[in-house]
Amino acid sequence: MTLSPQWLEELRSRTTLSTLIGRTVKVQKAGREYKACCPFHNEKTPSFTINDEKGFYHCFGCGAHGDAISWMTEQRGLGFMDAVKDLAAEAQMEVPAPDPRAAQRQEVRATLHDVMAAAQDWFVTQFNGIEGAAARDYLKNRGISEKTIREFGFGFAPDSRGRLKEALSVHGIDRLIEAGLLIKVDDKDPYDRFRGRLMIPIRDPRGRVIAFGGRIMGDGEPKYLNSPDTPLFDKGRTLYNLDKASPASRQTGRILVVEGYMDAIALAQAGFADVVAPLGTALTEHQIERIWKMVEAPILCFDGDSAGQKAAMRAALRALPILRPAHSLNFISLPAGQDPDDLVRSDGAHAFAALIAKPQMLDDKIWQVEYDAEPLNTPESKAGLKKRLADHVRDIADQDIAQHYRQAFDERYQAAFFARQERRPQGQGFQNARGGKFPSKFVSYKPLDDTRSFLIEGYDLQIAKGILGGLIRHPDQISAHFEELSAMKLADSQLQALLGELINAAMGKETLDMQGLLTILEKTDCYNVAKGLLRADALNFTFNRKLPDDAPSLLIERAHRDLAEAIKVVTARPGLEAALAEATRRVQDDLTEESYAEQQRLRKAKQLFHERLVDLTQIDDTV
């Protein structure tokens, strides 16, 4: 089928975008446009605009942008042609006829959809009949409610080789075989694929049944049986419950991935509607790409046993070659011997919610698995760990991401084998800008080699910009923090060069004010960068704003105090991250009250770091 640009433009022009979007999102008129809270990320103040004249939407918060067709594919989860067909039907436009072979394939698919719908109705009828009693009891014992049974369309396949074949014979034996409902072996008569099984329909993003999963009732193998690949069903590209999870994820901003469809159903019943599952295989690259269209960092939930952890690692390694900026995977590990259904039934939905609130990042997962792979009690085994991590980094196609992973693994490796931890004396926590202090149990993590550099990037780089601006305004503070500043390595080469010039200038002058420092910098390539930091309106710190000449000493002391705290927080964080990774490893290796308490304390400290970094950006006039 060929859709010309002219035909697609006509389709867009006949579609009123605000009306289309307004069916699922509350929109408000704003001049010649419409505004709404963005459906692609959680927000309280509308930043999502719809322009009917130009035919596009745009979110100034998350950058989502598109037209009517992309709305149907990204927000509704439809394929391109399905989106075009739905819009064309509303616009009363004829979709250009496909070529004969494509038309034949489409006819087969349409016929197979009818076959699968008929099979689903028949399975539901058997479930509600006398023969379905065992299946109904099984679901009742698992705590599945009547409402959930109806929503997910549970059915039952009687233990017979020909009941379904006879019931659906009107559709033709060949179609039943093509749909995966009958098995054909050589010259023998076809027979029913699903026999004596609880039936679970598998749907496409539009909610149409395209396959089935069947759980054996009683003894027998395999325990779970899925439909084979058909013109409707590609096991490696399909995700169970995607039709329900896709709209739910637009409200929560997340997607949960579990190992099987019964886990997905149990979690959905417990209130986690944004959950999907692969179908009897490890998560594939195609499935990961499909999930990334909905969220940037889905949360993978695996059983805590060895099989579950192997599945988690397989998913992690499959993601590495296709990683792209801002897209990754997160993980949670369930208690040993429990799956999501067990956890929710024994401890309640809040227990699962607590787990997914603090997921493990992809780099943490890979580090943890490789660290635990073998005893690291010899130089050779430690070198083996380093090699395995380097091999994983080489699998990452995006070189920027690969560099960050290389740096992250190196920091953990250094912290694990070449670092020591030092506690601050009691009562000497960092003082915050509001006059309070961090708790006295706050821990500072410091590498053994004080000259070792650590990379400052991302959000911390914004803090570092503020620190550089503060040092320019208060150059007398450079020598006071010489050791910490010398260990800083900034991800931005221009900022790194400026930091070096500031240190050199302070070392060459016993006393130095801002104007004298700028005079020195004027002879270097860093002068414009320095002036830019002094003008940067977004760097809202007490220590990099201009103070009047007659500023009271308390304001100056406040700026110096906040500058010192910012330097300490930014430079201490890598050590804290490494310590938290090590504590998490110890918890998973040997869960004790002491190891758990240490991990929770470090998590709290990490959150405290983040809160203080945010707090430092909030300027007020108090001292």
What CATH number does the domain containing 182 carry?
Answer: 3.90.980.10
- Report the run of H or E that residue 216 belongs to, with start and end: strand 209-216
* Predicted pLDDT of residue 457: 66
Q: Are residues 195 and 326 in the same domain?
A: no
Number of domains in the chain: 4
- Indicate whether 103 pLDDT > 70: no
Q: What CA–CA distance (Å, rounded) separates 286 from 279?
A: 13
Q: What is the DSSP letter of 252?
A: H
Q: Are residues 224 and 257 in the same domain?
A: no
Average pLDDT rounded to a whole number, residues 487-507: 81
Q: What are phi and psi of 303, to 5 degrees?
A: -60, 155
* Predicted pLDDT of residue 487: 75
Q: Are residues 471 and 517 in the same domain?
A: yes
Q: Are residues 241 and 226 in the same domain?
A: no
Query: Which is higher by pLDDT, 541 or 302?
Result: 302
Model confidence at 102, pLDDT cuts 50, 70, 90, reads low
Are 479 and 592 contacting, i.e. CB atoms less than 8 angstroms apart? no
Q: Is 345 helix (H, G, I), strand (E, B) or coil?
A: helix
Q: Which of 139-148, 183-192, 387-396, 418-427 has the lowest mean pLDDT?
A: 418-427
Residue 425: inside a domain, yes or no? no
Q: What CA–CA distance (Å, rounded) separates 597 from 605?
A: 12
Q: What CA–CA distance (Å, rounded) separates 263 from 267?
A: 6
* Predicted pLDDT of residue 454: 55
Q: Are residues 331 and 365 in the same domain?
A: yes
Q: What CA–CA distance (Å, rounded) separates 286 from 238?
A: 9
Q: Is 539 helix (H, G, I), strand (E, B) or coil?
A: coil
Q: Which of 340, 357, 382 lies at the terminal end of a domain, its last residue?
A: 382
Q: Are residues 492 and 455 in the same domain?
A: yes
Model confidence at 464, pLDDT cuts 50, 70, 90, reads confident
Q: Which of 91, 113, 138 lies at the terminal end of a domain, its last residue?
A: 91
Residue 328: inside a domain, yes or no? yes
* Predicted pLDDT of residue 422: 40
Model confidence at 571, pLDDT cuts 50, 70, 90, reads confident
Q: Which of 261-270, 341-350, 494-503, 578-587 has the lowest mean pLDDT?
A: 578-587
Q: Are residues 370 and 498 in the same domain?
A: no
- Indicate whether 444 pLDDT > 60: no
* Predicted pLDDT of residue 178: 94
**Tens digits of residue pLDDT in 582-596:** 777 776 666 677 776
Are 340 and 258 contacting, i.e. CB atoms less than 8 angstroms apart? yes
Q: Are residues 569 and 597 in the same domain?
A: yes
Residue 123: inside a domain, yes or no? yes
Residue 403: inside a domain, yes or no? no
Highest mean pLDDT among 83-87, 131-135, 500-504, 518-522: 131-135
Q: Which of 192, 214, 233 lies at the terminal end of a domain, its last residue?
A: 233
Q: Are residues 564 and 463 in the same domain?
A: yes
Q: Which of 155-164, 394-403, 426-435 has the lowest mean pLDDT?
A: 426-435
Average pLDDT rounded to a whole number, residues 497-517: 81
* Predicted pLDDT of residue 109: 59
Q: What's the CATH number where 47 sits? A: 3.90.580.10
- Indicate whether 222 pLDDT > 80: yes
Q: What's the CATH number where 477 sits? A: 1.10.860
* Predicted pLDDT of residue 612: 65
Q: Are residues 473 and 536 in the same domain?
A: yes
Strands, E, within 288-395: which ranges?
Answer: 299-302, 330-333, 360-361
Average pLDDT rounded to a whole number, residues 141-167: 95
Query: Which is higher by pLDDT, 403 or 60?
Result: 403
Query: Which is higher by pLDDT, 340 or 394?
Result: 394
- Indicate whether 621 pLDDT > 80: no
Q: Are residues 211 and 268 in the same domain?
A: no
Q: What CA–CA distance (Å, rounded) separates 557 from 540?
A: 17
Q: Which domain holds residue 480?
A: 443-616
Distance of CA 563 to the CA centre of its chain: 33
**Cβ neighbours of residue 159 under 8 Å, at least 6 residues apart?**
195, 196
* Predicted pLDDT of residue 455: 64
Residue 11: inside a domain, yes or no? yes
Within 13 Å, how many C-alpha atoms sit on residue 331's CB side? 27
Single pTM value for the model = 0.57
Average pLDDT rounded to a whole number, residues 596-616: 70
Residue 176: inside a domain, yes or no? yes
* Predicted pLDDT of residue 100: 61
Percent of the chain predicted with pLDDT > 90: 33
- Indicate whether 214 pLDDT > 90: yes
- Indicate whether 580 pLDDT > 50: yes
Q: What is the DSSP letter of 97?
A: P
Q: How far is CA 565 from CA 265, 345, 432, 493, 495, in A?
A: 48, 46, 7, 24, 20
Residue 422: inside a domain, yes or no? no
Highest mean pLDDT among 19-28, 161-170, 454-463: 161-170
**Cβ neighbours of residue 313 under 8 Å, at least 6 residues apart?**
365, 366, 369
- Indicate whether 442 pLDDT > 80: no
Q: What's the CATH number where 367 sits? A: 3.40.1360.10
Q: How far is CA 588 from CA 193, 358, 368, 549, 582, in A?
A: 42, 15, 9, 57, 10
Model confidence at 524, pLDDT cuts 50, 70, 90, reads confident
Q: What CA–CA distance (Å, rounded) separates 284 from 295?
A: 16
* Predicted pLDDT of residue 387: 94
Q: What CA–CA distance (Å, rounded) separates 161 from 174?
A: 16
Residue 135: inside a domain, yes or no? yes
**Average pLDDT over all residues of the chain:** 82
Q: How far is CA 206 from CA 83, 93, 153, 200, in A?
A: 10, 21, 15, 17
Q: Are residues 240 and 220 in the same domain?
A: no
